Amino acid sequence: MKKKEQLKQIIRDFHLSKNFDVKARTLNPPINTKKIITLIGVRRCGKNSILYHMINELSQTVDKTKILFLNFEDERLELNSDELDLILQSYMELYPDQNLSDCYLFFDEIQNITNWEKFIRRVYDTVTKNIFITGSNSKLLSTEIATSLRGRTLSFEVFPLSFKEYLYFKNIEVDLYSSKSLAHIKNAQESFLKNGSFPETLFLDELYANQTLQEYFNVLLYKDLAERYNITNTVALKFFLKRIIATATKQISINKIYNELKSNGIKIGKNTLYDFLDYVQNIYLAMTLQRYDTSLVNVELGEKKIYSIDIGLNNATEFKFSDNIGKALENAVFLELKRNQNEIYYYRSTKSECDFLISENGKITNVLQVTYDMSDPDTKEREIKGLIEASQNFSLNNGTIITYDSEDEFDVEGIKINLIPFFKWANKNFI
């Protein structure tokens, strides 16, 4: 079958098909921005399903024939870059009376086509502003999008499921005053902090879920990192990832990793390790958190803490959180804050530390500590001390300590402290 005829069949089959069977996510990108909407994030986090839900919603108000959808992982779409115009030609031959400027173009996994960005720029400039794309972040990175699309795009970060989404996908009713509902929620919290929240793994047996997550990790390691960035020293790369993920919720020290590699006889430059850290963040395997400072230079160059994109991904590999539920809890809080696009820092002085500072319009508005429980007197003293100092430093009269299951409210030095379990905090504070 000729390529144009094949394209017509794919386009028409979509128009005759039922809606996609997907659940709504909290992230709901806008439709009519006159910007190219780009969904980016770690592999398998749910970018496709968000795109599909957007199509479902749009088809409720717009004739479906005005929606052009192509998934470039379809083996029938074997197009070269100079054949991309066949897409619009095929569509117009099917619907000759259609005004392309009023149409909506959805392109899934478009990175499979070489020089796709030139085609998208030209379509945006000359045909329609309604363009929506996703792609595997091994080839479609946020930094590259900004460059290749030259200000024409709005990018949205997609993460694995939030805890509230996790409950929704699990069909768990959220009623914090129901003993039955609370029991299900607490059980879900335990699973969430152990197994993570990649959508594909939610209903798999633990063995198969772990195998799936291990496959994710291997693809991230060998394809998204080694292949993408032409890294031949995979021994050093794997050792680096091991140290990065094992360090989750702690400060990252490139010097320390460099010395460890050197002592094990693995030769690699220190600058290369800094490049590795950038690459790891580019593919959303891990993210860094900057220390708060009034100096922008000190913020950018200062010490950074590192967090994993998914707790389950850590636990499915040899780099486990499961031996420290407190670390898993802190990582989960970090991800909840990032999902909600909070500007966050951590606080450290010569006397104490506070896990998270939330900034709004350049002003610190909230301070958060995270701890498994407060039963140990030394832990209680340390967490309260850090929270009090951070609150006083930013002229706040309250702060929050997020726990696994403890709940309380009390005053210390004129600061109102709210102890709240993660499952309540995640459902109360976020959509």
Tokens describing residue 142: 């946020």
Please state the φ and ψ torsions of residue 69, each to the nearest 5 degrees: -125, 130
Residue 291 and residue 305: Cα distance in Å, rounded?
8
Strands (E), 27-136: 36-41, 67-71, 104-108, 131-134
On the question of pLDDT at 73 being above 70, the answer is yes
On the question of pLDDT at 299 being above 90, the answer is no
The structure's pTM equals 0.92
Are residues 130 and 98 in contact, defined by beta-carbon separation less than 8 angstroms? no
Residue 259 and residue 281: Cα distance in Å, rounded?
22
Tokens describing residue 248: 């989750």
Are residues 287 and 281 in contact, defined by beta-carbon separation less than 8 angstroms? yes
Residue 201 and residue 210: Cα distance in Å, rounded?
8
Q: What is the DSSP letter of 191?
A: H
Q: Determine the average pLDDT of the residues in 226-255.
A: 91
What band does 431 get if pLDDT is binned at 50, 70 and 90?
very low
Place of tokens 């809080």: 333
Spell out a b/e string for 79-89, using b for 16 or more CB atoms within 10 Å of the CB, else e. Answer: beeebbebbbe
The average confidence (pLDDT) of the chain is 90
Q: Determine the average pLDDT of the residues in 11-38.
A: 94
Question: What residues form DSSP beta bridges with 417?
Answer: 399, 410
Residue 328 and residue 330: Cα distance in Å, rounded?
6
Residue among 96, 87, 147, 90 nearest 119 (CA):
87
Range with lowest mean pLDDT among 104-108, 135-139, 315-319, 369-373 = 135-139
Residues 383-415 pLDDT 10s? 999 999 999 999 999 999 999 999 999 999 999
Are residues 320 and 214 in contact, defined by beta-carbon separation less than 8 angstroms? no
Residue 325 and residue 331: Cα distance in Å, rounded?
10
Q: Determine the average pLDDT of the residues in 117-125.
A: 92
What burial class does residue 65 get, using C-beta atoms within 10 Å of its C-beta: 0-12 exposed, 13-18 middle, 19+ buried? middle
Parts of the chain belonging to CATH 3.40.50.300: 3-158
Q: Cβ–Cβ contacts within 10 Å for residue 229, how many?
A: 15
Pairing of strands 131-134, 104-108: parallel
pLDDT, residue 430, reads 45
On the question of pLDDT at 300 being above 70, the answer is no
pLDDT, residue 79, reads 85
Residue among 290, 291, 341, 333 nearest 308 (CA):
333
Place of tokens 């593919």: 283
Residues 313-370 pLDDT 10s? 988 886 666 668 899 999 999 999 999 878 999 999 989 999 999 999 889 999 999 9
Are residues 424 and 176 in contact, defined by beta-carbon separation less than 8 angstroms? yes
Q: Cβ–Cβ contacts within 10 Å for residue 231, how many?
A: 18
Range with lowest mean pLDDT among 76-90, 220-234, 311-325 = 311-325
Q: What is the DSSP letter of 226?
A: I
Residue 265 and residue 259: Cα distance in Å, rounded?
10
Tokens describing residue 23: 């659940």
Place of tokens 């701890």: 371
3-state secondary structure of 427: helix
In the CATH scheme, what is the code of domain 3-158?
A: 3.40.50.300
Tokens describing residue 141: 């990175």
3-state secondary structure of 171: coil
Most confident of 76-90, 104-118, 363-377: 363-377
Handedness of CA 352, 357, 359, 365 (dihedral sign): negative
